[in-house]
Structure 1
Amino acid sequence: MPHDEIFTLREQKSHTEADTRSREETRKRIAKLQDFIGSQQSEITEFDESLVQKLIQQITVYDDHLAVRFKSRLEIDINE
């Protein structure tokens, strides 16, 4: 097997392993958020700053909607 092909295969393996680690980290963050939300004892009826800080990474306000990015990297658009 030529040296260049071995190098290419090693690089592809490295990228694949990095992608796998990234997906696993995302799954762990989602599971932690699900556990946290599931542990809440009551319905949320008012603004809770500590909850927002734990769950939300960024909120972007557009003219016609909001975009919410959670720390789990899940993103949703809210149209009003």
Structure 2
Amino acid sequence: MIKTLEENIHAVIGETTEYQISEINNLLEEKQKELIKLANKGQDYEHLADEIDELRDKRQTLLVEDASLNSENERIDELIEFIRKNKFRTLEYDDKLVRKIIQNVTVYEDHFVISFKSGIEMEI
């Protein structure tokens, strides 16, 4: 059951952006080589320099996103480790566990929403 929980949590959070970053790095390398060729020939390379800047900005955005995903994955791994260590406990309210995994609970007239610290929300 814990293995299934772990797989489901990681599926919801998503995968890292490593592949996209790698593709951008390869494209940047090609564009930079083209830029050098154009500069050596004395041709206009401004449009290519703009493309390179855009790719660098996109790569930076992906790196920030990847770092955020990594921190979320670390928190999820901590939660799963906590569950593994406590899997033989009886099913009763545990304030320590609740405070460790739940950010807040919002109560509405006909339902409520549980927000977990991992960013996942569940409506009940």
TM over 0.5: yes
Question: Which SS does the other structure have where 1:8 is aligned?
Answer: helix
Q: Which has the higher contact order (CA 8 A, sep 6+)?
A: 2
Percent of aligned positions with the same letter in both sequences? Answer: 35
CA distance in 2, matches of 1:5, 1:14: 14
**CA radius of gyration, larger in:** 2
Higher helix share: 2
TM-score, with length taken from structure 2: 0.56
TM-score, with length taken from structure 1: 0.82
Matched with 1:24 is 70
Higher strand share: 1
Q: What are structure 2's unaligned runs of at least 5 residues?
A: 1-34, 36-45
Matched with 1:10 is 56
1:1-29: CA deviations, max 9, x gaps?
43322211110000011111111211111
Q: What are structure 1's unaligned runs of at least 5 residues?
A: none
Amino acid at match of 2:105: I
